[in-house]
């Protein structure tokens, strides 16, 4: 896979797939611009090489229709402010208006096109749609790790028609970081996996036990594992159809001599409410009408001891309902232990990135992935279609 640094860029028209799928408030104001900030090093590099920069991205799920609330216009304004450099926004991503705007560009110009997903052909990976982007540029750079697990026109299709293509700095960093933390890590390697459902992380768990020394399981998904051990978890969320599967994972982990840690005590409540009464009980003493909301202090301490002695830590998924202040002690306790450890720690984006922010340890994490879904895809042992497309192109 070629890097952007391997491409002959001087004076070229460079099409860059970024991910500016950003959270907006009711006034269309961006509430988190980290994804824009993550692309600034590449954009500045391209400016230094006198390129004409054409940025493309999606926003939300408009399902092939024009939805004004999902316009990328706010992203163009924020990018311009962050760069202190003019950014032209174009009201579509294909068609005469786009071609006219690109024809007028001179080296140093930046254009951001409108939401790709206003056209259904994007998610369908339509080859003719991809060709329309190819006609705009001399070379293509994928800087959107967070959507590189999607087989879409702006990620995969375009790489088949623009021969001069490569990976951006962010994509390269994400792939290298994952490989260094899971495929060739310093040991001992500990994976901390949480979140709501076993089903969403089943493939990742099956893959991780082939790599890790310690596997920590928390969050609501731990209930299914506890039930596989014959523990009654009361009214807690459980995926009954996966109880046997959870047991098989624990058995496989034991066979591979993986140290697998589950909660031993939990924080429970009778209702799923931010003001609900809470109690701390051992996992063997959960009342029938109560539900698990967080891991308990003994569990937090045990999980923390495990990460403190790890050389590499990969974390994906909170330990409980951290969105509610009464039930975030476990998540924040583990987050603080990871932050304080001497090991190299990688956080798998999405809710985990938000949890790190809520627990105020963002600056202490070695790396926070920009793509929760793509990171999980890698944790499952799969290759990203967007990366594979660039690697195949490099072999032509």
The tokens for 320 are 């409980």
Instruction: Measure the CA–CA gap between 22 and 236, rounded to whole angstroms.
Output: 33
332, 356 Cβ separation under 8 angstroms: no
Q: Does the active-site annotation cover 35? A: yes
Helix (H) or strand (E) holding 289: none
Q: ∠269-273-279 over CA atoms, to 5°?
A: 20
247 known member of a binding site: no
The tokens for 297 are 């202090």
SS (H, E, C) 113-171: ECCHHHCCCCCCCCHHHHHHHHCCCCEEEECCHHHCCCCCCCCCHHHHCCCCEEECHHH
Q: Does the active-site annotation cover 197? A: yes
256 known member of a binding site: no
Helix (H) or strand (E) holding 40: helix 34-48
Strand partners, 294: 267
19 known member of a binding site: yes
60 known member of a binding site: yes
Instruction: Measure the CA–CA gap between 298 and 284, rounded to whole angstroms.
Output: 14
148, 384 Cβ separation under 8 angstroms: yes
201 known member of a binding site: yes
Task: Indicate which residue of 350, 353, 372, 386 is catalytic.
Answer: 350
367 known member of a binding site: no
61 known member of a binding site: yes
Instruction: Measure the CA–CA gap between 164 and 149, rounded to whole angstroms.
Output: 21
151 known member of a binding site: no
Q: Does the active-site annotation cover 120? A: no
349 known member of a binding site: yes
Task: Indicate which residue of 12, 13, 17, 35 is catalytic.
Answer: 35
Task: Indicate which residue of 64, 108, 247, 373 is catalytic.
Answer: 373
8 known member of a binding site: no
The number of CA neighbours under 13 Å toward the Cβ of 72 is 30
CA distances from 181 to 8, 212, 291, 293 (A): 32, 10, 34, 30
117 known member of a binding site: yes
Q: Does the active-site annotation cover 350? A: yes
Task: Indicate which residue of 2, 197, 279, 382 is catalytic.
Answer: 197
59 known member of a binding site: yes
Q: Which residues are annotated as a binding site for (2R)-3-phosphoglycerate?
A: 35, 117, 150
* Positions marked catalytic: 35, 197, 350, 373
Q: Which residues are annotated as a binding site for substrate?
A: 19-21, 35, 58-61, 117, 150
Q: Which residues are annotated as a binding site?
A: 19-21, 35, 58-61, 117, 150, 201, 323, 349-352
């Amino acid at each position: 896979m070629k890097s952007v640094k391997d491409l002959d860029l001087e004076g070229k028209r460079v099409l860059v797939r970024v991910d500016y799928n950003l959270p907006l408030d009711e006034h269309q104001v961006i509430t988190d611009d980290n994804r824009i900030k993550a692309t600034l090093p590449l954009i500045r590099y391209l400016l230094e090489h006198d390129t004409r920069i054409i940025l493309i991205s999606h926003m939300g799920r408009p399902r092939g229709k024009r939805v004004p609330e999902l316009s990328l216009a706010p992203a163009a304004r924020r990018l311009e402010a962050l760069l202190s450099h003019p950014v032209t926004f174009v009201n579509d991503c294909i068609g005469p208006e786009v071609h006219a705007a690109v024809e007028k560009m001179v080296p140093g110009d930046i254009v951001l096109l409108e939401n790709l997903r206003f056209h259904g052909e994007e998610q369908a990976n339509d080859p003719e749609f991809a060709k329309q982007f190819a006609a705009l540029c001399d070379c293509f750079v994928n800087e959107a790790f967070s959507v590189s697990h999607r087989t879409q026109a702006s990620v995969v299709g375009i790489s088949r028609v623009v021969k001069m293509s490569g990976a951006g700095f962010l994509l390269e960093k994400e792939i290298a970081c994952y490989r260094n933390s899971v495929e060739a890590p310093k040991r001992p390697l500990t994976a901390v996996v949480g979140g709501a459902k076993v089903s969403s992380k089943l493939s990742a768990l099956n893959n991780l036990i082939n790599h890790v020394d310690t596997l920590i399981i928390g969050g609501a998904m731990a209930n299914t594992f506890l039930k596989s051990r014959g523990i009654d978890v009361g009214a807690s969320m459980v995926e009954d159809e996966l109880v046997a599967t959870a047991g098989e994972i624990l058995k496989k982990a034991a066979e591979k001599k993986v140290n697998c840690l589950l909660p031993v005590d939990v924080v429970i409540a009778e209702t799923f409410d931010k003001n609900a009464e809470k109690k701390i009980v051992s996992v063997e003493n959960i009342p029938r009408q109560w539900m698990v909301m967080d891991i308990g202090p003994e569990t937090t301490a045990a999980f923390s001891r495990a990460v403190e002695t790890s050389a590499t830590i990969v974390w994906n998924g909170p330990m409980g309902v951290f969105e509610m202040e009464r039930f975030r002690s476990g998540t924040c306790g583990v987050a603080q232990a990871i932050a304080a450890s001497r090991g190299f720690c990688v956080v798998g984006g999405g809710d985990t990135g938000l949890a790190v922010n809520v627990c105020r340890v963002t600056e202490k994490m070695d790396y926070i992935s920009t793509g929760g879904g793509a990171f999980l895809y890698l944790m499952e042992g799969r290759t990203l279609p967007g990366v594979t497309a660039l690697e195949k192109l490099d072999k032509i």
